[in-house]
Structure 1
């Protein structure tokens, strides 16, 4: 099952709103605020690579997200 971890930067003060929106997206398993270089960490899982790509595209379209860095899990190394 394709899985990705998305590191997200957003506009200051919009973290809680974005986390709430992300948790409503199909395929987003979890989303949490974090300290460090990024503001939000999200885990995404879908049945196919194409479905995963669609969710990732939808994440990038969420208002107030300024950048993302996506790490796709290597299934054979789990």
Structure 2
């Protein structure tokens, strides 16, 4: 199982619109609004790296009002609870 964390920056006043769309995506396990440089923190999970990558590049990044994303891929051997 592959896991990545995605930091999303949205257009001002569209954070909840983006959040609603993000939560509809299969593979998105969690999404949280945040303060600071990024607006939303997302946990993405899939069977393979390609599936996770496709969720980020073909779905999350294409949501209207998403300005930018930063993806943190995890190291499976260093995972913890």
Structure 1 residue runs of 5 or longer lacking an equivalent are none
Q: Which runs of 4+ in 1 moved over 2 A?
A: none
**Residue in 1 aligned with 2:19?**
19
CA distance in structure 2 between the partners assigned to 1:30 and 1:14 by the alignment: 19
How far off its partner does 1:7 sit? 0.4
TM-score by length of 2: 0.92
**Residue in 2 aligned with 1:59?**
60
- 1:36-75 equivalence runs, <5 A: 36-57=36-57, 58-75=59-76
Let me know the Cα RMSD of the aligned residues. 0.7
How far off its partner does 1:72 sit? 0.4
Structure 2 residue runs of 5 or longer lacking an equivalent are none
CA distance in structure 2 between the partners assigned to 1:13 and 1:31 by the alignment: 17
TM-score by length of 1: 0.96
